[in-house]
Structure 1
């Protein structure tokens, strides 16, 4: 396992990050702890979660993922290793109907809400500090989760970025959080957070957690430039495109009730677009040609990108987890990367 520096910080994160959004919905607490034990035994030091997990979010399960992780972190043998682990979680943004999470969900990133959210996460996680605290999606109006067009008609009230950073600065001073990140952000957001922090001497964001895969390489252009110039690292989520890039849906069967798509068919709509299956089949053929599994090819590709600090993997079975983590041993040749780019040119970002 290799480790990379996160942004301009002193944090060294494993190139594979353990995603946990299935814990409490598709995975029991025993299965979650088995996954956590296995991952750290393989050198993973980076665990990502969120206050709204598991997914799909609902009132009766909200916070359960953090609770499962917290019970694991509270074990004496794990407590002794806490300073070697990097635990990341997230606060919700505005604009989605999660009024059951907090009374005031209109201004999700108000000072009051941030302070409450951090304290609630610390309690569930049973830890004194959060290494990387992330804004799950922007407080302002932006296209996200498969949307591609900005619509000024959707403008809404938002908490000023300076006000958000001032609250996070308090929490860093108190030692409750160590570093900041964003998620589902845009180039404008990266630059505005960075410039506001510099201008007001407030904490700088280190990372952006956005979708990135063979099916969605929109990060390659404007976001990549913004992150390069502002010293921000990508934490790539959905590197397997909701399981599509494992090859299991190439024949079109998405009804298996043991898979996320089978259980929640409306949850991954960006992967129902016209060229997804054709592109996936082409990538699977490249993998077969070079004696790789489609999963190995997809994860190794994401890891190979210069702007990726860590690739977030998630699994519902130990077999999936083992294959995902083992992919860290795969390095793609220039020949393979050229073939991948040829497919990308034919099927350009089919699931943005």
Structure 2
């Protein structure tokens, strides 16, 4: 397993990390992702560690906290071998104090996560969404207190717009607070919006991308084909409404390119899609989830080899879409590109 610096921090993370959203199995969304209990989760942790995967990511909203509970139980006795990442901000109830990143909510959320995870610290704590109602200075001061108390080690965000992330980074520099070192983002061959603004910002400011849903909400498994109905066992029947829409022809064009390269490399379509992400600028780690050990074993095969530059170029061409304004001139017009060349 390759290990990479998380942004400009001193924390090293594996190129592939484990996303524990499949643990717990509560609720309509997360039960569709997976229903792993403690015994199966422990086997997946064993397999992950055998392959050098040492970062395990979860969140308080995953299965109403059950994901954290199952992960904590599965890691029992080997906490010093792993890194734990979790998140808070999204609503966990209907009450006025059950959502957001106010000081009281953050402190309570961290304390609750520590109990569920059965640990005394969180290695990477991320704000799961931007909360427009809370001053950024309050958020950063609270995170600073939690870092100084030893309850969290590093901080990051997830699902932020560029201006929201930059606002936090600027305020941290101004007030001497810990900087966000990670941005957990959606990025895949069928979802390349990250490249338009967030990737250049991450490169400039030293923020590492922690990639979620790298297979495009399950669309890049190789099971979805042109002219064929959606497989009856596809989780997209239950989860498609939660993710970004993707035009059918765009998906089929990407899958066609993946098919060709799968034949050339004797790798699976998911392995190729994951490997493509690992060679993108600013990507620190890619989260892989799995409903069982067989699926996890297959995803772990995405490392230890490289696509050729020509294969990468074919995947780039097949997955490219027109960026919206103001991004498209910098990608399509020579004068704009000369002043500010795209990273990819």
Any idea what the Cα deviations from partners look like across 1:27-83, whole Å, max 9, x if unmatched?
2312211111110111111100000003xxxxxxx0000000111222x3x1xxx23
In 2, Cα distance between the equivalents of 1:31 and 1:337?
A: 35
1:178 aligned residue: 153
Given that residues 24 and 35 in structure 2 are in contact (C-alpha distance below 8 angstroms), is that contact kept between their aligned partners in structure 1? yes
In 1, Cα distance between the equivalents of 2:242 and 2:225?
A: 18
2:88 aligned residue: 91
Matched, 1:200 2:175: yes
Matched, 1:341 2:316: yes
Note the residue ranges of structure 1 that are not aligned, 5 or more in a row.
Answer: 55-61, 141-157
In 2, Cα distance between the equivalents of 1:265 and 1:238?
A: 12
1:49 aligned residue: 58
In 1, Cα distance between the equivalents of 2:181 and 2:241?
A: 32
What is the Cα-based RMSD across aligned positions, in Å?
1.9
Matched, 1:104 2:106: no
In 1, Cα distance between the equivalents of 2:250 and 2:147?
A: 45
Secondary structure (helix, strand or coil) at the match of 1:321 reads: helix
Any idea what the Cα deviations from partners look like across 1:297-341, whole Å, max 9, x if unmatched?
100000111210001111112111001111112311111112112
| TM-score (structure 1 length as normaliser) | 0.84
Number of aligned residue pairs: 313
Name whichever of 10-19 and 336-345 sits farther off: 336-345
Any idea what the Cα deviations from partners look like across 1:230-265, whole Å, max 9, x if unmatched?
1100011111112211211124433533x4223434
1:2 aligned residue: 2
Q: CA deviation at 1:220?
A: 1.6
Decide which of 93, 116, 126 is 1:124's aligned counterpart: 116
Note the residue ranges of structure 2 that are not aligned, 5 or more in a row.
Answer: 26-33, 324-344
Residue correspondence of structure 1 range 1-352 to structure 2 within 5 A? 1-25=1-25, 26-29=34-37, 30-54=39-63, 62-74=64-76, 76=77, 78=78, 82-93=79-90, 98-100=92-94, 103-105=96-98, 108-140=100-132, 158-251=133-226, 252-257=228-233, 259-271=234-246, 275-345=250-320, 347=321
Given that residues 18 and 287 in structure 2 are in contact (C-alpha distance below 8 angstroms), is that contact kept between their aligned partners in structure 1? yes
2:335 aligned residue: none
Instruction: List, as ranges, runs of 4+ consecutive aligned residues in structure 1 with deviation greater than 2 Å.
Output: 97-100, 251-257, 262-292
Given that residues 73 and 127 in structure 1 are in contact (C-alpha distance below 8 angstroms), is that contact kept between their aligned partners in structure 2? no
Residues 221/267 of structure 1: CA separation in 2 closer, same or farther (3 Å cut): closer
Secondary structure (helix, strand or coil) at the match of 2:140 reads: helix
| TM-score (structure 2 length as normaliser) | 0.86
Secondary structure (helix, strand or coil) at the match of 1:123 reads: helix
Given that residues 244 and 280 in structure 1 are in contact (C-alpha distance below 8 angstroms), is that contact kept between their aligned partners in structure 2? no
